[in-house]
């Protein structure tokens, strides 16, 4: 019996994003549409999220405008599509601290935020580097890191060190250090609650952008090609491949169950609908008794 419903909610997008940034080595091979999304996990008396997007103001807006982000909508507007409000969210798992994932913490006043200790500590370290080394801060809004420190002051930031089993019932956190960022992590949902679950979903954060990163040509079964890492890594491409293999093995090699939120082709893999703002709501799975919100 499935315990959680999972939705991927698009809150903005980049119409033309360089393919080489999401599939390593694909230089001069054009562009892809890049949805900007977060994930909602609802069930067992909890409303949890993976990441929170960015806030479309101050330096976050400057970064988004530079990247050509369009059609941004607030969490209140986006969550309303599935009958929720930001105040309903009690737990948020931050896959990594890039601006489009960690930039809107203020919108969720009642949530506890979980992040790898290494992730936030290393960004503080990077902020102190000489100006000539500022490349390592790409993707980071320094203001977001400061707001993370404020969450810690307010006892609303849970810094975890490595893997965490049952952070919520049936939900596990898995560290992927020195990959896309210093302390990235991915989320595993054992949706039947069993230790040896046969109903596992993996929420990949930015360790996976596209199906090609999974060696998946579109069928969604066992990888039928080589893993190709993402194009942007503060850490190591080798570490990225090892993390991808862990995720694929966690779902019994059924790559359809590894969810890359920046992948436009999710629309062909899961039921979905388009909101009046032109943004996609993808329904990955439904808990027992939960009616579809996209059909």
Beta strands in the chain (DSSP E): 4-18, 31-43, 46-50, 69-70, 91-93, 112-116, 157-160, 164-168, 171-177, 183-190, 200-203, 258-259, 272-274, 280-285
| Alpha carbon distances (Å) from 279 to 74, 120, 154, 211, 258 | 12, 30, 33, 20, 21
> Which has the closest alpha carbon to 143: 161, 123, 115?
123
Q: What angle do CA 150, 153, 157 make, to 5 degrees?
A: 80
Q: What angle do CA 61, 62, 66 make, to 5 degrees?
A: 115
Predicted confidence (pLDDT) at residue 219 exceeds the cutoff of 90: no
Q: Are 238 and 244 in contact (CB under 8 A)?
A: no
Please state, in angstroms and rounded to a whole number, the distance separating the CA atoms of residues 201 and 187.
8
* pLDDT per position as a tens digit, 229-250: 999 999 999 999 999 999 999 9
* 183-190 and 200-203 strand pairing: antiparallel
Predicted confidence (pLDDT) at residue 263 exceeds the cutoff of 90: yes
Mean pLDDT of the chain: 97
* pLDDT per position as a tens digit, 190-209: 999 999 999 999 999 999 99
Cβ-based neighbours of 135, under 8 Å, separated by 6 or more? none
Please state, in angstroms and rounded to a whole number, the distance separating the CA atoms of residues 26 and 22.
9
Predicted confidence (pLDDT) at residue 218 exceeds the cutoff of 90: no
What the block records as the tokens of 173 is 């956190």
Q: Are 186 and 199 in contact (CB under 8 A)?
A: no
In the predicted model, what is the mean pLDDT of residues 10-35? 96
Q: What angle do CA 242, 120, 214 make, to 5 degrees?
A: 25
Beta strands in 171-257 (DSSP E): 171-177, 183-190, 200-203
Q: What angle do CA 75, 62, 71 make, to 5 degrees?
A: 40
Please state, in angstroms and rounded to a whole number, the distance separating the CA atoms of residues 21 and 1.
39
Proportion of the chain above pLDDT 90, given as a percent: 97
Residue 67 confidence class, pLDDT cut points 50, 70, 90: very high
Q: Are 176 and 168 in contact (CB under 8 A)?
A: no
Q: Is 127 helix (H, G, I), strand (E, B) or coil?
A: helix
Which class for 132: exposed (0-12), middle (13-18), buried (19 or more C-beta within 10 A)? exposed
* pLDDT per position as a tens digit, 8-22: 999 999 999 999 999
Which class for 254: exposed (0-12), middle (13-18), buried (19 or more C-beta within 10 A)? middle
Q: What is the DSSP letter of 290?
A: P
In the predicted model, what is the mean pLDDT of residues 114-138? 97
Domain boundaries, the chain: 4-285
Question: Residue 255: what pLDDT?
Answer: 97
**Residue 34, beta-bridge partner list:** 14
Please state, in angstroms and rounded to a whole number, the distance separating the CA atoms of residues 273 and 294.
5
pTM beyond cutoff 0.85: yes
Architecture of domain 4-285: 4-Layer Sandwich (3.60)
> Which has the closest alpha carbon to 93: 168, 16, 4?
168
């Amino acid at each position: 019996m499935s315990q959680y419903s999972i939705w991927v909610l698009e809150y903005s997008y980049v119409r033309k994003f360089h393919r080489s940034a999401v599939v390593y080595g694909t230089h001069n091979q054009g562009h892809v549409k890049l949805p900007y999304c977060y994930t909602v996990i609802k069930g067992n008396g909890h409303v949890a999220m993976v990441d929170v997007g960015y806030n479309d103001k101050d330096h976050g807006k400057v970064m988004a405008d530079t990247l050509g982000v369009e059609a941004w909508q607030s969490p209140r507007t986006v969550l309303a599509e599935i009958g929720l409000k930001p105040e309903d969210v009690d737990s948020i798992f931050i896959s990594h601290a890039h601006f489009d994932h960690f930039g809107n913490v203020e919108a969720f006043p009642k949530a506890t935020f979980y992040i790898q200790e290494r992730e936030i500590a290393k960004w503080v370290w990077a902020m102190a580097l000489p100006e000539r080394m500022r490349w390592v801060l790409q993707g980071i809004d320094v203001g977001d890191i400061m707001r993370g420190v404020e969450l810690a002051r307010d006892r609303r930031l849970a810094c975890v060190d490595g893997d965490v089993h049952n952070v919520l019932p049936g939900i596990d956190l898995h560290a992927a250090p020195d990959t896309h960022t210093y302390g990235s992590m991915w989320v595993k949902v054992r949706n039947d609650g069993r230790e040896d679950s046969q109903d596992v979903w993996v929420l990949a954060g930015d360790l996976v952008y596209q199906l090609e990163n999974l060696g998946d040509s579109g069928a969604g079964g066992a990888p039928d090609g080589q893993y190709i890492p993402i194009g942007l890594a503060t850490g190591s491409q080798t570490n990225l491949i090892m993390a991808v293999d862990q995720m694929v093995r966690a779902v019994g090699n059924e790559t359809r169950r590894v969810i890359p939120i920046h992948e436009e082709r999710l629309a062909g893999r899961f039921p979905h609908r388009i909101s009046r703002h032109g943004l996609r709501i993808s329904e990955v799975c439904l808990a027992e008794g939960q009616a579809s919100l996209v059909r």
